[in-house]
Structure 1
Amino acid sequence: MTAVTPPAPQHPPVSSFGGTQTLRADLVRVRLPMVNAFLLGEPGGPWVLVDAGMPGTAGLIRRAARAVHGDRPPELIVLTHGHLDHVGALADLLAAWDVPVYAHPLELPHLMGVAPYPFPDPTVGGVMSALSPAFLPGPFDFRPHVRPLPQDGSVPGAPGWRWLHTPGHTSGHVSLWRAADRTLVAGDAFVTTRQETATGALLNAVTEVRRPPAYYTPNWEAAAASVRGLEALNPALAATGHGHPMAGEPLREQLSALAAQFEARGRPARGWYLGHPVPVHAAQRGDPDPLRPIVLGALGGVAAAWLLWQARRLLH
C-alpha cells in the first residue's frame, strides 16, 4: 500500500518557479509560471506527469522531475485538459520523452488537430481576462502520442488513482482522485487563486477556493455540478491547476461554501457564455461568433508579449 504522509502545510508554499513541493510521499507539485504540474509516483519508482505547463517551461519541468526521479522518464503524461497553459510545453517534453499522453475522449479533437476550443472570454472581468486572447484555443496536434483515458476510470501508471469527469471548464476536463487518503488533483475544476487578476495568476497572492478560471469556462452549469461533485468527496488535500494546494478545515469550509453558493460565488456577473453555454456532451468547437477571434487577434499578440515579459521578469 502506498505510504501516506500528512497533508502539506498551508504556508509557506514553494515560491520559486520550477520549485517542488512534496504533498504526499508520491505526489509532488511543480510550480510553473501561472500554473502547476504534478508528479505522481514515489521517488525511485515509476511515475506519471500530470499536465505540461505554459510554453517555454519544459526545462523547468524536466529539472524538477530530475530532482525527484533522477534520469528516469515518466511512464506517461495525463492531461486534466488541453488548454494552452496545460499543454504549452508538451511538444518539447515529448521530444525528450517518447511517452503516451492520456486525456478524456472529449478532449481528443483539440489535441489531435481537429477542433479549437471556444475562444476565451475577455469580458468576465479582471486583467488576465482582458488579456485572455493570448491563450490560443488551438487546435493542437500531439499525434501519435495521444490516446483516451480508460473507460473504467483507472489512471494508467498510477495505481490507486481514478479519473473523474469534471466538465464545465472544458467538455473533457478530468480531475484525479485517490480515495485511500482523500487526495484530489483538481485541475481547473476549481482553483485556489484569483486567476482572473494579474497578482493572482502570476503570484498566487491570496490562497482561497475559487471558481474555475472564468475567461476560459464556457459552461457554468456544468462547472457548478463538477464543483458540487468534488465537494461531496470531502477531499483532505486538493492540488489545483492554479494556486497553492489546500488541505484540512480551510479546504473543507471554502469548497463547501463555493458548492452551496455557486450562483453567487462562482458564476461571473457577465460573459459571452452565460446565456449560451457550450454543450458538454460533444467536443467544444471554436467560437460561436467567428468575428470575435478576428477582432481580438491583435490584442492577443500584445497580451502574449506582456505575459512573456512578466514571466521572464519573475523567473529572474
Structure 2
Amino acid sequence: MDTVAAGVTQLRIQRFVNVYFIETGTPGEWVLVDTGLPGSAKTIIAAADKLFYPGSRPEAILLTHGHLDHLGSARELADHWHVPVIVHPLELPYVTGQALYPPRDPTVGGSLAFMSRFFPAQLPNLAERVQALDTDEPGAPFLMAWRWLHVPGHAPGQLAFFREADRVLIGADAFATCHHDSVPAILLGKPEISRAGTPFNYDWQASRQSVQTLAALEPKAIGCGHGPVIIGPAAAAGLHQLADNYPIPTHGRYVAEPARTDASGVEHLPPAPKDPLPMQLAIVGGSLLAAGAAWLLTSRRRKSRKSKAHRKAAKAAKKAGRSPSPTPPLYRGSVGS
C-alpha cells in the first residue's frame, strides 16, 4: 500500500489496477473507491483490516466507472460489508445488465489494444446493491472535504474525485500515471502521466476535455486507476503536458466519430473498421499449415527413397548370395561366463 496524501491510501491489485481507501474525516470511517478485478475481494478486505482494524468496513463503495477492472469485486465486497455501491447515473445501465459499453476498439494500436480483443464484455450485475450518485450535490458521498467531477470519454459516467484543501486528485481512467498503451509498462509501473485505456475510449474529444478539466485543478498529488502515485510538482506539470499535447490516435473506430450514449446506454455507434488480426492469424495459420504439410510430404518422400534403396540393396545382396541384413551375434556376457 502507498500513501497518496493524509487519509488516502492506494492499494495496487495484481500490479495492474488500483483501489483507494479514503477516510471520511470522522475517526474510523472511510470509503472504498473502486474494487479491482474479479477475485480481488479477499486482498482488499485484508488490506482494510490492516489499515484500519479487523472487521472494519466502509460507509460505501464509490465506483469511478463500471469497467471490469474497477467493478470486478464490487458485488462480493458489497455483500460482505452490507454497503451500497454508488455510481454516476450514466453508469447505471452498464452495471445493472441493461446495456453494454461501446465496443472496445482493438484497431487503435498498442499491446493493450491487442489484448483487449480477449477481454469479456459482460459485467457482474450490481442491481441489488447499486445506488445513483446525487448529481445535484457537488460533494462526494460520505467525503466531507471532497467533490466529484464528471470526466467522460472513457466511460459515459466516469467520475474523478478532488480534495481542494491539499489538491489531491483521484483521476480514475481519465488518464494514467504509467504508459497505459503498453502492458509491459503497466506491469513495470514506471511513473508517467499518459492517456489511459486507448481501446476503451469511445469519445476522443471528450477524453481530451476531461484531461484539460483535471489539469486546471493544479493537483499536488495524483492517484489513478492504473499506475503509481505521483506527488509534488511533477503531478501538475505532467498533467498539463498531457492536456496541452493530448495524443489522439491517427486511426481507430472512434477517432473521426464518437459513440453516442444516453441514460439508457449506447444510442449510436460509428461503423467498426476492419480488424486485420483475423486475416493475419489466418495467413499465419495457413503458412504454418503449409509448412507442416511440406515437412510431412518431404519426410514421407525420404522414407520412401530409403525404403526403395533398402529393397534394391536387399535384392542385390540376395542375388550375390549374401544375407541382406547381417545380424550381429547375440551378447552372451563376458569371456569365461
Tell me the TM-score range normalised by the shorter chain: 0.7 to 0.9
Q: CA separation of 1:103/1:155 partners in 2, compared to 1, >3 Å: closer, same or farther?
A: same
Matching residue of 1:104: 88
Secondary structure at 2:266 match in 1: coil
- Distance of 2:42 and 2:188 partners within structure 1: 20
CA contact (8 A) 1:83 1:137 kept: no
Q: Structure 2: which amino acid aligns with 1:39?
A: F
- Say whether residues 1:179 and 2:193 are aligned partners: no
Q: TM-score, normalised by structure 2?
A: 0.76
Measure how far apart 1:282 and its partner are: 4.8
Structure 1 stretch displaced more, 50-59 or 92-101: 92-101
Aligned ranges for residues 157-168 of structure 1 at < 5 Å?
157-168=142-153
Structure 1 stretch displaced more, 177-186 or 249-258: 249-258
The runs of at least 4 consecutive aligned structure 1 residues that moved more than 3 Å come to: 280-284, 286-293
Equivalent position to 1:236, from 220, 224, 227: 220
Structure number with higher relative contact order (C-alpha < 8 Å, ≥ 6 residues apart): 1
- Distance of 1:269 and 1:55 partners within structure 2: 33
CA contact (8 A) 1:222 1:280 kept: no
Aligned ranges for residues 113-192 of structure 1 at < 5 Å?
113-151=97-135, 152-192=137-177
Q: Structure 1: which amino acid aligns with 2:29?
A: P
Question: What is the Cα-based RMSD across aligned positions, in Å?
Answer: 2.3
- Distance of 1:63 and 1:36 partners within structure 2: 15
- Distance of 2:160 and 2:175 partners within structure 1: 10
Equivalent position to 2:18, from 36, 46, 57: 36
Q: CA separation of 1:160/1:98 partners in 2, compared to 1, >3 Å: closer, same or farther?
A: same
Equivalent position to 2:66, from 82, 85, 95: 82
CA contact (8 A) 1:117 1:139 kept: no
- Distance of 2:20 and 2:203 partners within structure 1: 26
- Distance of 1:246 and 1:96 partners within structure 2: 32
Matching residue of 2:179: 194
Measure how far apart 1:202 and its partner are: 2.3
Equivalent residues, number: 273
Equivalent position to 2:38, from 55, 74, 79: 55
Q: Structure 2: which amino acid aligns with 1:128?
A: L
Secondary structure at 1:29 match in 2: strand
Measure how far apart 1:99 and its partner are: 0.6
Measure how far apart 1:76 and its partner are: 0.3
- Identical counterparts, % of pairs: 37
CA contact (8 A) 1:191 1:243 kept: yes
Q: Structure 2: which amino acid aligns with 1:65?
A: A
- Distance of 1:129 and 1:97 partners within structure 2: 35
Matching residue of 1:257: 241
- Distance of 2:216 and 2:124 partners within structure 1: 34
Structure 1 stretch displaced more, 137-146 or 153-162: 137-146
- Say whether residues 1:270 and 2:251 are aligned partners: yes
- Distance of 1:198 and 1:66 partners within structure 2: 31
- Distance of 2:176 and 2:215 partners within structure 1: 13
Matching residue of 1:222: 206
- Distance of 1:57 and 1:139 partners within structure 2: 15
Measure how far apart 1:281 and its partner are: 5.1
- Distance of 1:210 and 1:245 partners within structure 2: 13
Give per-residue Cα distances to partners, 1:243-289, cap 9 Å, x unaligned. 01112221222211111111xxx212221111220125555429655
Matching residue of 2:266: 285
Q: Structure 1: which amino acid aligns with 2:260?
A: P
Kindly name which structure, 1 or 2, has the bigger radius of gyration based on alpha carbons.
Answer: 2
Measure how far apart 1:292 and its partner are: 8.8
Matching residue of 1:66: 49
Equivalent position to 2:193, from 184, 209, 213: 209
Measure how far apart 1:135 and its partner are: 2.7
- Distance of 2:107 and 2:9 partners within structure 1: 35
- Distance of 2:123 and 2:68 partners within structure 1: 10
- Distance of 2:263 and 2:245 partners within structure 1: 27
CA contact (8 A) 1:171 1:279 kept: no
Measure how far apart 1:176 and its partner are: 0.3
Measure how far apart 1:155 and its partner are: 1.4
- Distance of 2:119 and 2:188 partners within structure 1: 18
Which runs of 5 or more structure 1 residues have no equivalent in the other structure?
A: 1-19, 300-316
- Distance of 1:147 and 1:290 partners within structure 2: 33
CA contact (8 A) 2:111 2:181 kept: yes
- Distance of 2:38 and 2:188 partners within structure 1: 18
Secondary structure at 1:187 match in 2: coil
Q: CA separation of 1:214/1:144 partners in 2, compared to 1, >3 Å: closer, same or farther?
A: same
CA contact (8 A) 2:258 2:270 kept: no
CA contact (8 A) 1:163 1:177 kept: yes
